[in-house]
Amino acid sequence: MYYTGERTSIDNQNWHSGLIGKVFSHKCPDNDKYFRSIRIAHNPFTNTLQPQISNPIYGEPPEELKPISPMMLNRLMRQTMTSTFH
């Protein structure tokens, strides 16, 4: 098979444990009646994972949205801020 030495989107999905494209929920710390949905996306310019956070939504999160751990959310937010363009 011919190998170009470049990563594909499937490589990125495997490299990041299948997190790319997954959606999680997070309860708002100031008001428990609201939550935010958080989608994990790949930023090809910085080659990092980037959280895409929604506006607050009134109600309980749907059952299919698993809550994201605060540690993981903190890591994703810091990773986005410390990335630099090369």
**What pLDDT shows up at residue 31?**
93
Nearest to 12 by CA among 38, 39, 37, 41: 41
**Ranges under pLDDT 70 in the chain:** 1-17, 80-86
**What pLDDT shows up at residue 10?**
65
**What pLDDT shows up at residue 12?**
58
Instruction: Give the alpha-carbon dihedral of 14, 15, 19, 20, to 10 degrees.
Output: -80
CA distance 71 to 11: 25
Q: What is the pLDDT of residues 47-69, one digit of tens each?
A: 788 899 999 999 999 999 999 99
